[in-house]
Amino acid sequence: MDFELSQAMEVLERTPGVLCGLLSGLSRGWTHTNYGPDTFSPFDVLGHLIHGEKTDWMVRARIILEQGTARPFDKYDRYAQFEESRGKTVAVLLDEFERLRRENLAALDALRLTPEQLARRGTHAVLGEVTLGQLLSTWVAHDLNHLAQIARCMATQYGEAVGPWRRFLGVFSAPVTPMDADGAARRRAAVARGEA
């Protein structure tokens, strides 16, 4: 499927509702438990998604549209949620994510992007030149990736309880993506503070 902004918006506008339906009102055993050493919990993922709404997608889209490749993107802090989510509840994070996403999608819609604008380029420190269309496609895939990650994390809580059915459940065989050393240290600090 080629990138189509209206189709991308179909997914992006639904993510807050999916997260609310999946996480709202659940006990900490579901929301704050990860799926292996140095991995995210659903609470962590939600904080990560919020940080992206603040510092990634629309910020980088504006850089591409206003400055092109002349100004590289700022480095993205994949672990900022360990500090930014401190003291917040899942309910507060769900509300914050919904508000930020609504604001970002309104701003994106207001741009009335043309195919020529979607082809404009920006500079990523690791990936090099990327297009606005690629950035927006990644926003959608990033949402879906983290929804799958949350589902995997939650399923893992019953990984032993399912007994012999485990072999039929692909969610248990998906590869685990651990954090790097910085993320692991920051998560351990959050755990030590009783926040993760």
pLDDT tens across 47-84, in order?
Answer: 999 999 999 999 999 999 999 999 999 999 989 999 99
- For residue 190, the model assigns a pLDDT of 80
Angstrom distances, CA of residue 24 to CA of 28, 30, 47, 95, 149: 11, 10, 14, 10, 17
| Whole-prediction pTM | 0.92
pLDDT tens across 92-149, in order?
Answer: 999 999 999 999 999 999 999 999 999 999 999 999 999 999 999 999 999 999 999 9
If pLDDT is split at 50, 70 and 90, which confidence band does 189 have? confident
The class (CATH top level) of 5-192 is mainly alpha
Domains of the chain, residue spans: 5-192
